[in-house]
Chain A
Amino acid sequence: MLTYVTRRLLYTILLLAIVSLTIFFIFDLIPVDPARLVCSKQCTPSLVEANRHRLGLDVSVFEQWWRFMVGLFAGRTFGEEGIAITCAAPALGYSFSRHECVTTIVSQAFPYTLSLALGAFVLWLSVGISLGVLSARKKGKFADRAASVFVLVGTSLPTFITGILVVLFIVLQFNLVSPLELGNWHNPVTEPLGWLQTFFFPCATLALAYAATYTRFTRSNVIETSSEDFIRTARAKGLSEKVILRKHTLRAALAPIVTIAGLDFAGLLGGAIITEGIFGLNGLGKLSIKAVTQTYDLPIIVATTLIASAFVLLMNLIVDIAYAFIDPRVRTS
């Protein structure tokens, strides 16, 4: 087991290195020159060159990547002498549009994204799994039909429609949340109510589509598992239906959900662009979309892309390890 985890960990680190290098190569190909962008109107070729040097873009892509990697662990200084700015480790670069270390910007945005992702995750898992199990048990009955209506609505309503409807009715019409309060940060530990006010509706909006998919997935998995031979064995043993469902059916039916839930959650940790945009949450999604569409702030784009892919890889690792605990067949092979 320990060798399995070590092997997977090393593999993940290697993959992260490759992914980050790839990101650097891709962004080198983009026809946007940051050195020119930060230049004022009276831009001269020599100024551009000076900027390029200051931004560390005057070396090869590989060298840029290497400096980034070193900066991650040791911190990094941008520019020289009087105008030098030092970003402490883990340095993710220096934003030339905001004149700030990217790490600082990202760490301000991340709590929003984490709150949104975690809240939505908890909501969609609890709603999706319980509805899925309910409709599998009541297959063909009223509860199942009602759940399938929910699935249909949830999967066919895009987030930007639900989000706008929520803002329109819940915020503007019924004033359940004051429009002025929308998107304000509250510490979930010290001000849980304030945090809920900011994040409940965005989380619910984001969770709706996921909950619908998970309902359908759970329902079909539970139905499929219920017809397995080992469930018949459990029944032949004399176990009650409650124990069979809770212990035998759910254990096997929910195992695959761990995989997709982990990956869906990881995807959201990179930022939920639409939901963050609608509810004015200054998370990673809003940060990266602004950097992409308005400021062409390459260091921010690199950092957010890298963070998103790091979360996916990390969650993959966690899911694989969790799976080894859930399914003994994975452990021994």
Chain B
Amino acid sequence: MSKFLEVTNLNVTFPTADGDVHASNEVSYSVGLGETLAIVGESGSGKSVSNLAVMGLHNVTRTKITGSAILNLSDGPVDLISASPETVRRLRGKEMSMIFQDPMSALHPFFSIGDQIAEAWHLYNKGSKSDGIKKAIEMLDLVGIPDASVRVHDFPHQFSGGMRQRAMIAMALVNNPSLLIADEPTTALDVTVQSQILKLLKDLQNEFNMAIILITHDLGVVAEVADRICVMYGGRIVEDASVEDIFYRPEHPYTLGLLNSVPRITSGLSHRLRAIPGQPPSLINLPSGCSFQPRCEYSSRVSSGACTESVPALNDKGSGHLSRCHLDIADLNDLVKDKA
């Protein structure tokens, strides 16, 4: 059965004076209605770039995009990569929406919150100005803004960070889209507000049966809301599995490294966090073979230097758990046990 969004072999390249930046390489993922896919990775791993390509928000003259991103709408599938910019524009805000990391700079400082939400609504609905404001109040109420009928006339600077993100969510969902891409929606917020926003997204998903793509570098956020996780590194997906599998049975050394660098409540006080040594790779000159190989502590276990010679394929090593590594899983599990 096809999912709502199916991204296949997506490549995003930015030609620069120093050479092509391969921000996203052969990226494939999919997300169904009512499902949350988390895309995890460090800065520059290509997680935002891939999703901006899906939304058609890259500058076409300065970006090379290949591959496909099929949106399975009720009236037939649309490939967002090959479709005309105008076609994709008419899907934005209606079928797919996006919210961003910094809700302060993402809202226009000169227009009231209500006007900005109403503007999105008017784009796809016929109605008077007051209908738009009514809809905006309804949406603000839905996302948990108190006194929505008063606050609707406020400007972004009169809202707190958490409220601004709620307003962004209200704006993104005003036309009831089937896909919401949330690009680090909680990164700029403090921890208590973070969990409120995540809970809100989860509640809204249950109510409207949306597909959500959650882009984040915070594994804690992922554990809370995601159904499935894609781990990205150096513009490639290195592991793609269910939340359970990623947290309890990671198969890629990078995922393992990420998990080791997060404090666990069970590990006790004496346990020191282990950082992954080295630096993320340059996206202009990706290392030959596996892009994680220079930082990988297990690469020596793989015979005949395969790690430096060929990019490992994203293999299904068991019931929908995909991993891009030359190492045998049995070996990795043994190694992990040794350490523990």
Contact = CB atoms under 8 A, between A and B. Distances in A.
A328 B55 contact: no
B183 to A, nearest CB: 10
A255 B120 CA distance: 23
Given A236-B97, A237-B119, A237-B171, A228 B105 contact: yes
A329 interface: yes
B151 interface: no
A233 interface: yes
Main secondary structure of the interface of A (DSSP, over half): helix
A233 B107 CA distance: 7
A168 B87 CA distance: 56
Interface string B82-102: 000000011111100110101
Interface residues of A, number: 21
Contact of B94 (A234, A238, A329): A238
B73 interface: no
Nearest to B52: A232
A232 B106 contact: yes
Interface stretch (B18-26, B108-116, B215-223, B243-251): B108-116
Given A230-B107, A236-B97, A332 B158 contact: yes
Contact of A252 (B91, B92, B110): B110
Nearest to B109: A329
Contacts of A236: 55, 57, 92-93, 97-98, 100, 172
Interface in A64-103: none
Nearest to B95: A238
B100 A232 contact: yes
Interface of A: 228-230, 232-240, 248, 251-252, 255, 326-329, 332
Interface string B212-241: 000000000000000000000000000000
B45 to A, nearest CB: 20
22 contacts: A229-B106, A230-B105, A230-B107, A232-B100, A232-B106, A233-B108, A235-B57, A236-B57, A236-B98, A236-B100, A237-B97, A237-B119, A237-B171, A238-B120, A238-B124, A239-B93, A252-B108, A252-B110, A328-B109, A328-B112, A329-B109, A329-B155
Nearest to A239: B123
Contacts of B157: 328-329, 332
A329 B155 CA distance: 8
Given A237-B97, A237-B119, A332-B158, 9 more contacts: A229-B100, A230-B105, A230-B107, A233-B100, A235-B57, A236-B57, A236-B100, A238-B91, A329-B157
